[in-house]
Amino acid sequence: MSLLCVLVKKARIVGNDENCNSYVVLKIDNVKSTTSVVKGLNPGWEQEFYFDVNDMVLGLQVELWDRGKFWDKLLGLYYVKLNEIATSSQNADERWIVLDGELVLSKNGQITGTCNPTEHRLLLRFFVELPADLTEEESKDLQQKLEYLNEILDKEDFISVRDCTMNLFYFS
C-alpha cells in the first residue's frame, strides 16, 4: 500500500469579490477531504492530507469552491493520475495549477482529465510515498511498471483531454 501526501498551500482567485469564502476538496476513489474555509481572494491553508492508495491507476481530483449563503459555487478543478505523481518527498511536485472548469470523461464515464481553463490558481505540493519495505531496485521497477501502465491507458479508447466537446460533466 502506498501513501498519497497532499499539501494544499494557497490559491489566487480572480475576481472582485473580497468576500469570497473558499475551500478545497480533495477526492480519490470514494474518499473525500476538505480544507477549512478561508476568506479573501488570496486564501492560504497550509493543510496536509494523506490518502492510503492501493491502486495507482486512480486519480486525484482537486476542487476549489466558494462557500455561499444558500449554496456553494465551484470555482475550478484539476485532475491528475496517481502514476504521474512523484514517488518520494525529495522529488515532491510543488506547483501552481491553473484550474479548469470542466471534467473530461471516458466513454465508460471514468474521469480522464479536465479542460477549459479558468483564471483561478492553486498551489499544491504532492507526492506518493511507496511502501518502506521496497528496495531501491524494486521501487524503480514499480515506477517503470506504472509508467508502462499509464502508456497503455493513454492508448485505450479514452477521449482526449483536448476534445472538450463530448461526454463532459460541466460545473458552473
Choose among 56, 100, 65, 94: nearest CA to 79.
Answer: 100
Q: Give me the pLDDT at residue 162, please.
A: 41
pTM over 0.85: no
Three cell numbers, residue 107: 466513454
Domain layout of the chain by residue ranges: 2-170
Q: Give me the pLDDT at residue 37, please.
A: 97
Q: Give me the pLDDT at residue 130, please.
A: 76
CATH number listed for the domain at residues 2-170: 2.60.40.150
Q: Give me the pLDDT at residue 89, please.
A: 72
Sign of the Cα torsion 39, 42, 45, 51 reads positive
- Asked if 22 contacts 11 with a C-beta cutoff of 8 angstroms, the reply is yes
Choose among 56, 74, 61: nearest CA to 147.
Answer: 56
pLDDT in tens, the chain (172 residues): 788 999 999 999 998 778 899 999 999 988 999 999 999 999 999 999 999 988 888 899 999 999 999 999 999 999 999 888 888 777 788 999 999 999 999 988 889 999 999 999 999 999 988 777 767 677 677 677 766 766 665 665 444 444 444 434 443 3
Q: Give me the pLDDT at residue 41, please.
A: 95
Q: Give me the pLDDT at residue 161, please.
A: 43
Q: Give me the pLDDT at residue 57, please.
A: 84
